[in-house]
Amino acid sequence: MPTLLLRFPGGRYHATPWGHHVNEGLIEWPPSPWRLLRALLATGYTALNWEGELSQPMHSAPPEEARILILKLASTLPTYRAMGSHTRHYMPLGVLDKGREETTLVFDTWAKVGDGILGITWDVSLTAEETRLLAQLAEQMGYLGRSESWVDAHLAQSDETPSEGTDCFPEEGHVNPGSGWEQVSLLAPDPEYLTWRERQVKALLDQLPPIPLPEKKRNDKLWAQLEA
Tens of pLDDT, residue by residue over 178-223, are 777 778 888 888 878 778 888 899 999 888 888 777 776 666 665 5
Whether the Cβ atoms of residue 79 and residue 143 lie closer than 8 Å to each other:
no
Whether the Cβ atoms of residue 107 and residue 156 lie closer than 8 Å to each other:
no
Write down the pLDDT at residue 106: 59
Give every strand in the sheet of 166-168, ordered side by side.
Answer: 152-155, 3-7, 117-121, 79-82, 166-168
Whole-prediction pTM value? 0.73
- Please state, rounded to an integer, the average pLDDT across all residues of the chain: 80
Domain ranges of the chain: 3-209
71 by DSSP, 3-state: which? helix
Mapping DSSP onto H, E and C, the string for 157-207 reads CCCCCCCCCEEECCCCCCCCCCCCCCCCCCCCCCCCHHHHHHHHHHHHHHC
List pLDDT tens digits, range 32-84: 999 999 999 999 999 998 875 544 544 567 889 999 999 999 999 998 887 76
4 by DSSP, 3-state: which? strand
Ramachandran angles phi, psi of 86, nearest 5°: -140, 155
Write down the pLDDT at residue 24: 66
Whether the Cβ atoms of residue 37 and residue 74 lie closer than 8 Å to each other:
yes
Task: Report the distance separating Cα 125 and Cα 194, nearest Å.
Answer: 23
Write down the pLDDT at residue 209: 86
Greater confidence, 161 or 128?
128
How many other C-beta atoms lie within 10 A of the C-beta of residue 220?
8
Mean pLDDT value across residues 138-161: 88
